[in-house]
């Protein structure tokens, strides 16, 4: 789970605003004009939620740290109450025998920093270093497992190119520096944790989607290749020391300019202990001259009449298997952890029960694919279901439910869905 999607308590105990608190106030940006201000109230209910994690049989708990709870202005002054909250949360995990897995950045930049340019600013690295250093020094004795960034492609493209997510900026002038800063931040963050945390286990998490050309027409194949670079290669390759993917379309040339001008290939590289991949669906794409730069658009799963979730995302466990295999096959990748996978279906709570058979079926298919990869000797060594409780699903507000636990957002009552019960059985049988 992530802080912005779950914690709520957005203005309590000294927390500063995040870009999502501000962005969600803009009319029409989030479904139903929902705000993350209270979310699942995890800030006050973490003890109960951790008991659920434990009861469902999980051994590890992934959560993110809210940057603006720790540093309300993004840099400078530390908020003691924010620090105290995460100590209490981590201590509770350890008390219950749950291994804490901490994500440093899960999309909730302090708004104070966005006002200064956010991820596109050349000060970003300095700010990020301060945040990571504070977290490492405070929590490093107790937390050994660290994910530096969550889906850099997600927050840079949606937030700084397409304007769909916070902070809502559009255009290459924001996007390209944001990409470069994120590629640098993931490596710098890794180095800071390595130097300050003894026996640390460090990774960073990438979204990935198999990209399938709509036809054997060369234009569709080229379009698929362009999208593949963006969706699957743009961040992992610099982290492995390979620099940005080499290709001859405009976007890459511009990125190379950043890179060559500053000769930062070495600084974008870090020796990660693991690579996190987050996979939900493949995309089928065709050439579309109307779309700027990328000249590609996807052909929706519903149009192609293939199975899909209520998010419209194609359900295809073979493609999940393919992506695990592909990411594991990079020479310098030591091991893969699947740090997110799950599905949104329109759940209904009827007489205290949520019968989410489709989600169970989804998990069965995807876990079978994962076990197949593992049994074939592919170096995949972990899996995190997304996610514990229904929560604030970014632009989908509280509409898109991904949880194993249903949340009534009026009362904050939790109900374990059938998929949660199924997971418990599954883990019990596969101990």
Beta carbons within 10 angstroms of residue 145's beta carbon: 20
Q: How far apart are CA 313 and CA 104, in angstroms?
A: 27
Could you confirm whether 151 is annotated as catalytic? yes
**Comparison of 41 and 116: residue with beta carbon closer to ligand NOJ:** 41
Nearer to ligand NOJ, 2 or 157 (CB): 2
Cβ proximity to ligand NOJ: between 75 and 389 the closer is 389
Beta carbon nearer to ligand NOJ, 237 or 393: 393
| Residue 261 beta carbon to ligand NOJ: minimum distance, rounded to whole angstroms | 31
The CA angle 246-252-258, to the nearest 5 degrees, is 105
Report yes or no: 37 and 10 within 8 Å, Cβ to Cβ.
yes
Name the catalytic one among 7, 114, 151, 188: 151
340 is catalytic: yes
Return the DSSP state at 170: B
In the bound state with ligand NOJ, the residue whose beta carbon lies nearer, of 5 and 322, is: 5
131 Cβ contact list (under 8 Å, min separation 6) = 67, 70, 71, 74, 75, 104
Q: What does the binding site for ligand NOJ look like in residue numbers (CB under 6 A)?
A: 2, 5, 150-151, 278, 340, 386, 393, 402
Element (H, E) at 380: strand 380-383
The answer to whether the beta carbons of residues 153 and 235 sit under 8 Å apart is yes
Count helices and strands in the chain by DSSP H and E runs:
16, 14
Q: Measured from the CB of residue 366, what is the shortest distance to ligand NOJ in angstroms? A: 14
State CA 122 to chain mean position distance: 23
Contact (CB, 8 A) for 316 and 281: yes
Q: Are 144 and 197 in contact (CB under 8 A)?
A: yes
Active site residues: 151, 340
């Amino acid at each position: 789970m992530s802080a912005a999607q779950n914690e709520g308590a957005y203005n309590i105990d000294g927390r500063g605003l995040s870009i999502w608190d501000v962005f969600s106030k803009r009319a029409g940006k989030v479904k139903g004009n929902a705000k993350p201000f209270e979310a699942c109230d995890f800030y006050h209910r973490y003890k109960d939620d951790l008991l659920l994690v434990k009861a469902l049989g999980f051994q590890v708990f992934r959560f993110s740290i809210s940057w603006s709870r720790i540093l309300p202005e993004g840099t400078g002054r530390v908020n003691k109450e924010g620090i105290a909250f995460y100590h209490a949360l981590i201590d509770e995990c350890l008390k219950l025998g749950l291994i804490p897995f901490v994500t440093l950045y899960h999309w909730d930049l302090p708004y104070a920093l966005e006002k200064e340019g956010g991820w596109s600013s050349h000060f970003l690295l300095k700010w990020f270093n301060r945040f990571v250093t504070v977290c490492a020094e405070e929590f490093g004795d107790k937390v050994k497992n660290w994910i530096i960034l969550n889906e850099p492609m997600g927050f840079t493209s949606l937030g700084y190119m397409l304007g769909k997510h916070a902070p809502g900026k559009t255009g290459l002038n924001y996007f390209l520096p944001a990409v470069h800063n994120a590629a640098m931040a993931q490596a710098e963050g890794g180095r800071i944790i390595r130097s300050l945390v003894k026996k640390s286990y460090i990774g960073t998490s990438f979204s990935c989607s198999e990209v399938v050309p709509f036809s054997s027409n060369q234009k569709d194949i080229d379009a698929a290749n362009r999208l593949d670079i963006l969706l699957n290669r743009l961040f992992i390759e610099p982290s492995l020391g390979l620099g940005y993917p080499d290709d001859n379309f405009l976007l890459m040339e511009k990125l190379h300019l950043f890179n060559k001008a500053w000769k930062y290939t070495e600084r974008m590289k870090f020796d990660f202990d693991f690579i996190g991949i987050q996979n939900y669906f493949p995309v089928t794409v065709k050439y579309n001259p109307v779309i700027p730069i990328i000249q590609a658009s996807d052909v929706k799963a519903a149009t192609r009449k293939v199975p899909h979730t209520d998010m419209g995302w194609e359900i295809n466990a073979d493609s999940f298997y393919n992506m695990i295999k592909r990411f594991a096959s990079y020479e310098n990748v030591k091991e893969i952890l699947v740090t997110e996978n799950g599905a949104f279906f329109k759940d209904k709570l009827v007489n205290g029960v949520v019968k989410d058979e489709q989600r169970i079926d989804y998990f069965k298919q995807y876990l079978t694919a994962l076990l197949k990869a593992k049994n074939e000797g592919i170096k995949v060594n972990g899996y995190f279901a997304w996610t514990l409780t229904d929560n604030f699903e970014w632009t989908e507000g509280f509409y898109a439910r991904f949880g194993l636990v249903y949340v009534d957002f009026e009362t904050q009552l939790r109900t374990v869905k059938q998929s949660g019960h199924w997971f418990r059985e599954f883990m019990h049988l596969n101990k």
